[in-house]
Amino acid sequence: MNKRPVVIVAFEESDNLGTGYLASVLSEAGYDPRIIDFNIEDEEIVSIIQRLNPLIIGFSIIYQFYIHDFKKLIVSIREAGISCHLTAGGQYASLRFRELFRFIPFLDSVVRFEGEYTLLELVNSIYSGTDWRKVKGIAYKINDKVIANPIRPLEKDLDRLPLPMRTPLTEYAFDKKFASILAGRGCIHNCSFCNTREYYRQSGGSYKRVRKPEKVAEEMELLYNKKDCTVFLFQDDDFPAKTGRTTVWTERFCDELRNRGLHKSLMWKINCRPDEVDPVSFAMMKEHGLFLVYLGIEDGTDYGLKRLNKGLTAGRCIEGINNLRKLKINFDYGFMLFQPSSTFATVNENLDFLTGLCSDGSSPLTFLKMIPFFDTIIEKELTEEGRLTGVPGFYTYQFYEESLNRYCEFTTDCTMEWLRGTNGLLNVLRWARNYIAVHTRFAEPSPELSTISEDVRKITAESNLFLLDKLKELSVIFETGRYNNGDYRGLRGFKESIDAMHDDARARINNQMIRLLRLSSSPSAEADGN
């Protein structure tokens, strides 16, 4: 008997490993999973679903910001006469399922926490006609009462899961394809702005589980041989650069890449903490393809890091960054310039830290305002203080000083395109750096490449320092309280100068990329990668 497909609606801008693992478990059990990109128009999604006539539709609601958009889509699905079972999963759905049922009453169930086997059992139950309300790991609603079934234990051995289904791989740079990959799940740390630890606490499992390094290398080899994939982006919240106090995992991983003959054929990026950057182990990882590290820095002061419960110091952050610089490993970072407890004094201290971090052009400047994510320590504190405002999905807060609210508002507007635009300078600088990294990895070295790389670094440093200087100037102006009325007409020149530097730096970077593309097309640029 042909089984009706199972539809999953999720963000598919790149490899979505969450839906990929769900789909692979369903496929292994004989079902036909279909993943629909949430980014396409609602009307098209509804049309596709009508054509597929699915058994069940699952919605991947990971982020709180999109619950209004999901509600709009789900209402359209029901209004179109689609009556199949609707379920939702993801971090937000798992932790705030009662709130989600109130907000989207059309949902039949919520799959809580890791959903591979819970969703499979739910699909099996609906397919066979048995009582799906008995499935472990779901929540559902009877009239106005929400019932939460016992939690399903987490899979202890992640390597028992089938490899995730993937959409066709796309280009990273110079025709090199990339794939997302996981070495493990979870994080042992408890930062005040992050809900990962709370997610695993409520799920009743280990805070962190790590795959066998041999299995990770095996998956990479499969993608290399079958999908022509050479660039791998690890999506772990905290890559196992250190397990306990040792680097055994990374040593075994690198040994396995070498044993499989992949150590010179691949390149990979990881996420980790600054205090995990050990010069010996990271030198080893670089030799085996590591080219980019994302660091969770967040604050540049000891008391700020303590407030965020980061468990490290500013000095240790600088040490980790300097280790990467010495090894010539590229890095990106997260930084929250604006936080609920921020003052002009803390903002200026953090601007000074960013000046030290970014003045050499080793990484483009970036920062943001902390978001009070659901079920975080910060959200609870703001709620207790009566400072959390807004609506579900868009909660925010005000600073203690009105002048700081205005400063944050104005600087956010001035830097929106620079820091957040798809074609903004931050993304263009990263794009240029990544193209240079790929060319460096797979092509013959040349003086021209060195010149291009140095020019990109200089443009990055110049634009970083320019924007930091403007932010410092504006902090002095706003601290006087002169612009607390929200009339920023007298500051128009600042925005114009920031926009001018943005456009000029972006144009210069584009010129460097034209040089790089010409260099890459020359016969002498090709290398065998061995």
Spatial distance between the Cα atoms of 435 and 431, rounded to a whole number of angstroms: 6
328 lies in some domain: no
User: Which of 95, 127, 148 finishes a domain?
Assistant: 148
- Does residue 275 contact residue 300 with C-beta atoms inside 8 Å? no
pLDDT tens digits for 106-125?
A: 999 999 999 999 999 999 99
CATH code, 117:
3.40.50.280
**What number of H helices and E strands is found in the chain?**
18, 16
Please state, as a whole number, how many other Cβ atoms lie within 10 Å of the Cβ of residue 486: 10
Helix (H) or strand (E) holding 259: helix 248-259
Spatial distance between the Cα atoms of 436 and 341, rounded to a whole number of angstroms: 39
Q: pLDDT tier at 336 (50, 70, 90 boundaries)?
A: very high
pLDDT at position 246 is 87
500 lies in some domain: yes
217 lies in some domain: no
Residue 384, amino acid: E
158 lies in some domain: no
Going by C-alpha positions, the residue among 335, 239, 247, 360 that lies closest to residue 293 is 239
DSSP code at position 394: -
Q: What is the mean pLDDT of the chain?
A: 94
> What percent of the chain has a predicted confidence (pLDDT) above 70?
98
**Side-chain half-sphere exposure of 173, counting CA atoms within 13 A:** 21
247 lies in some domain: no
User: Which of 93, 121, 148 finishes a domain?
Assistant: 148
pLDDT tens digits for 133-170?
A: 999 999 999 988 999 999 999 999 999 999 999 989 99
Interaxial angle between packed helices 248-259 and 279-287, expressed in degrees from 0 to 180 and rounded to the nearest 10 = 20
**How many domains does one find in the chain?**
2
Q: What is the mean pLDDT of residues 181-203?
A: 94
280 lies in some domain: no
- Does residue 439 contact residue 174 with C-beta atoms inside 8 Å? yes
Distances (CA, A) of 106 to 19, 100, 135, 141, 283: 22, 10, 19, 10, 53
Name the residue range of residue 525's domain.
401-530
pLDDT at position 530 is 39
DSSP code at position 9: E
63 lies in some domain: yes
> What percent of the chain has a predicted confidence (pLDDT) above 90?
91
Helix (H) or strand (E) holding 331: strand 330-338
pLDDT tens digits for 382-439?
A: 999 999 999 887 899 999 999 999 999 999 999 999 999 999 999 999 999 999 999 9
Q: What is the mean pLDDT of residues 79-90?
A: 96
User: Which of 83, 118, 148 finishes a domain?
Assistant: 148
3-state DSSP assignment of residue 141: strand
301 lies in some domain: no
